Amino acid sequence: MQKVNVELGKNSYPILIGDALLSRSDIFRQYITSNQVMIVTNATIAPLYLDPLVDALEGLGLQVKSVVIPDGEQYKTLEVMNDIITRLLQEKFSRDCTVIALGGGVVGDISGFAAACYQRGVNYIQVPTTILAQVDSSVGGKTAVNHKLGKNMIGAFYQPRAVISDISVLKTLSERELHAGLSEVIKYGLIRDTEFHGWLEGNMDKLLQRDHDALVYAIKRSCINKAEVVAGDERESGIRALLNLGHTFGHAIETGLNYRDWLHGEAVATGMLMAADLSCRHGWLTQDDVERIRQLLSRAQLPLVLPAGLDSQRMLDLMAVDKKARDGSIRLVLLKSIGEAFVCDNFNGEKLHATLEHFQP
């Protein structure tokens, strides 16, 4: 088992990465604060992994309940979160209970926000079941639900007690989810880890083939990168914003599609290439680097143009609602080179329009 620590003082916690961790009741016991445990999962994951986790926890003599929510970004809403809160109340769970998020990014985000709100905050554990969740959304304490006008607009910073990433569950991950998760892996190389980007260029085929050692290395290296950034900026007042490379574009795509049709990682992939293109138009990034980025995203089988129906003006309107906007102005994470990102609010508007036009299908 591999371990990465997220160093946040009293809010510090471990990320545990290994095989068959769902059955390791001894690991879970360390991070559960009472006998009451509520597992939140979705309709896709429940038939696969809910029973093994329930069996492991009930073997400790714990009172284990569960709530199964629909699968999909369109269900990351206040209404569905209310179903989780209602279940906790119906079962008379106290403020020292533990919520366990068993699923991908949607389950983790909505469960974490429910845990942050229930009785003003209860213990929770992330058990991510997708690559995207294992390398990104489960780490760092960002919890939220979506609004029809913007993604992740309602939420809180709330850290888990632990992140327990079972590599063996990735064997049931769909090809599409695998590719979408690799988008967030690629992001770490682009924003701060040039060596890792080179490793990804040399090992993408292994990742696509789900080579065990390659997956473990990529997930651990990604978690180390995110843990270091989060430790330096827990509440995104500075360098943590760099983790949003491609996300202003990507969130606009997701919102414009009503959180349907495209996965988060797919939207971020197109967004990262758009950020690279805009960086190049400003003379900050070379055309050769843009092509390297395009090639790696293409090898990961990710979309590289905007979906039909999202014209330039619609994209601009949606981007202006992004959380990273300041005083009504769009702020973007752009690139000076592969491995060096920066936050920019003084980009050229005409160049942004040119980028948006360039990526029309």
Give catalytic residue positions. 120, 142, 184, 226, 236, 240, 244, 247, 251, 264
* Pure H helices in 141-263: 175-192, 194-208, 212-232, 247-256
Question: 125 has which bridge partners?
Answer: 100, 162
Per DSSP bridges, beta strands 123-128 and 98-103 are parallel
Give the integer Cα–Cα distance in Å for 307 and 287. Answer: 24
Question: 63 has which bridge partners?
Answer: 36
Backbone φ/ψ region at 192: left (φ over 0), alpha (ψ -120 to 50), beta: alpha
Give the integer Cα–Cα distance in Å for 359 and 237. Answer: 31
In sign, the C-alpha dihedral spanning 70, 179, 248, 227 is positive
Backbone angles phi, psi at 108, to 5 degrees: -65, -45
Q: Which amino acid is at 176?
A: R
Which contiguous run of DSSP H or E holds residue 42? strand 36-42
DSSP-derived letter for residue 235 is: T
Give the residue among 200, 180, 196 at the shortest CA–CA distance from 253: 180
Burial of 289 (0-12, 13-18, 19+ CB in 10 A): buried
Q: Are 127 and 105 in contact (CB under 8 A)?
A: no
Compute how many other C-beta atoms are within 10 angstroms of the C-beta atom of residue 155.
18
Where do we find the tokens 């682009």? Answer: 190
